[in-house]
Amino acid sequence: MNRYATIIESGSYIPEIEQPNEIFKKRFGNEAIEKLESATGILTRFYAPQNFSCSDLATKAIENLLDKSNFPREKIDLLILGTDTPDFITPATSVIVQQKAGLTNAGTFDVGCACASFPTGLAIAAGIISSQPQIKNIIVAGAYMMHKLADVENDINAFYYGDGAGAALIQSSDSPGFISSTFKADGSYAMNWGIFSGGTYEPASIETVKAGKTQVRFVNPFPSSVNNEGWPQRVREVAQNGNFEINEIDHIIFTQVRDRTINKVMETLELPIEKAHKIMHKWGYLGSACLPATFDDAVQLGKIKSKALVVFVGSGVGYNQCAVAFRMHK
């Protein structure tokens, strides 16, 4: 009998400390922030308390998921965590979340392809479910806390960063569930946006800390074609790989970085904008948590129904892109 990965529940966590655009206007001026606001749709964002780390965000989202599903923690077999704002370089943040969330029987690993991490994690989970019958219950989570790694007082790109996390519970089923996936990467953009000191390329030192190299830096803009053209192509590929038509898609969950980009892509795909849920206006850009938090919000609002065909499209710095298609069973 075939085994398919099926999403049976979702959860999310957005912290409490609001940082509206007015704060950034005071730092960087009305004109600059209003320009960003118009292009992105971001109106506010929320920060976690200073004593929180990324693992705390992920743990909160997983607790929200498990509380809603009433699913026993000890029955989780595997935790896959996507983030590019880890607690440490090593050990993996997922193992810290495993302990904090009480997932005593779960193995863990991290996925580190930035905002493409969650759909990549879903694709990995689907492969594991289909091929390893002893693994029945997997949590795929995404968490993001870039504001703690940014110069929020002096770098205008801190405008984007909100804290948050989301998670999905994946189980095996005898019918899809998971339908298809596709991947794309182009490492020639690796130095455009990132944290470039603190790893083996340039270990952290007094000099690199003083120079701000251990904080996130936006060095060169990505061409608009990366997402404007890349996202429609990923959707076409995942539809072809899954043998379905684009007009059969009920909902697409995109990386939530620019409102205008999502509008343009939906127009290119000739799909109504109502099929693309957005959260950047109320939570900001959530990086690795964008897709699971947006998905959970759409589910809670009743936008995603049983049997809906949902496509997740993630795009992360590097760059990495991944799209996956799921049929909802809940």
Residue 37's pLDDT is: 97
- In this predicted structure, the answer to whether residue 65 has a pLDDT above a threshold of 90 is yes
pLDDT digits 0-9 by tens, 294-316 = 999 999 999 999 999 999 999 99
* Best CA proximity match to 292, nearest among 321, 263, 254, 248: 254
| Number of neighbouring beta carbons within 10 Å of residue 109 | 14
Instruction: Name the pairing type of β-strands 46-47 and 193-194.
Output: unpaired
d(CA 186, CA 14): 31
Residue 91's pLDDT is: 97
> What percent of the chain is predicted at pLDDT more than 70?
99
The residue-averaged pLDDT of 246-262 equals 97
Tell me the pLDDT band of 2, cut-offs 50, 70 and 90.
confident
The residue-averaged pLDDT of 182-210 equals 96
Residue 1's pLDDT is: 63
Residue 329's pLDDT is: 81
Q: Find the DSSP H helices in the chain.
A: 21-28, 30-40, 54-69, 93-100, 117-131, 206-210, 225-228, 230-242, 259-269, 280-283, 290-300
- In this predicted structure, the answer to whether residue 330 has a pLDDT above a threshold of 70 is no
Residue 195's pLDDT is: 95
Looking at per-residue pLDDT, the higher value among 73 and 329 belongs to 73
- In this predicted structure, the answer to whether residue 193 has a pLDDT above a threshold of 70 is yes
Radius of gyration in angstroms for the set of CA atoms belonging to the chain, rounded to a whole number: 19
Q: What are 146's two structure tokens?
A: 């870039």
Domains in the chain: ranges and CATH:
1-330 (3.40.47.10)
Q: What are 302's two structure tokens?
A: 């009743």
Contact call for residues 93 and 54 (beta carbons, < 8 A)? yes
- In this predicted structure, the answer to whether residue 325 has a pLDDT above a threshold of 80 is yes
- In this predicted structure, the answer to whether residue 280 has a pLDDT above a threshold of 60 is yes
The residue-averaged pLDDT of 199-210 equals 96
d(CA 322, CA 184): 6
- In this predicted structure, the answer to whether residue 208 has a pLDDT above a threshold of 70 is yes
The residue-averaged pLDDT of 20-30 equals 97
Residue 253's pLDDT is: 98
Quick one: residue 327, left, alpha or beta (phi over 0 = left, psi -120 to 50 = alpha)?
beta
On the 0-12 / 13-18 / 19+ scale of CB atoms within 10 A, 311 is buried
pLDDT digits 0-9 by tens, 77-106 = 999 999 999 999 999 999 999 999 999 999
**Residue 69 carries which DSSP code?**
H
- In this predicted structure, the answer to whether residue 14 has a pLDDT above a threshold of 90 is yes
Residue 176's pLDDT is: 84
Tell me the pLDDT band of 235, cut-offs 50, 70 and 90.
very high
d(CA 6, CA 106): 18
> pTM (2 decimals)?
0.97
